Amino acid sequence: MPIVTPDVALVARCGLYCGACKAYLGSKCPGCHANARATWCTVRACCLERGIATCAECTDFDDPRKCRKFDNAMSKLFGILFRSDRAACVDQIRREGLAGHAAIMAERGAHTIRRGSRDSRSCHS
């Protein structure tokens, strides 16, 4: 398995960390920012329209789960399948910055904060 290194360019628009994703590490996906074929992703499209790197920069919602583009049917399905809490990732970016989030996720070797984890619960208390 390749070594996961911190890289702010690999923080996905929704807060996931592409740098630790199996598809990225296996050279099957270029990561969110470089994946021009991900036109289906409403979060990516919204961030591109607004000129922001991630949902953490959005000032319309204090909680990304209140946003219909962020909390849509596809994201709910992925959240269940992968036990992913992307909102906790967005909260972590807001607290730690992009570099801090990338460093934490790389150190953990994780592409997401798991739903129900200590980190997930502490972000939304």
Assign 14 to helix, strand or coil: coil
Task: Give the number of domains in the chain.
Answer: 1
Residue 19 to residue 7: CA distance in whole angstroms: 7
Is 3 among the domain residues? no
CA end-to-end span of the chain, whole Å? 35
Give the domain range for residue 38. Answer: 8-123
What pLDDT score does 123 carry?
A: 40
Residue 46 to residue 67: CA distance in whole angstroms: 11
Is 78 among the domain residues? yes
Q: Give percent above pLDDT 90 in the chain.
A: 74
| pLDDT of 121 above 60 | no
Is 1 among the domain residues? no
Is 115 among the domain residues? yes
| pLDDT of 120 above 60 | no
| pLDDT of 122 above 70 | no
Instruction: Name the token pair of 19.
Output: 């740098």
Is 2 among the domain residues? no
pLDDT digits (tens, 9 = 90+) for 65-90: 999 999 998 888 888 888 899 999 99
Specify the pTM.
Answer: 0.88
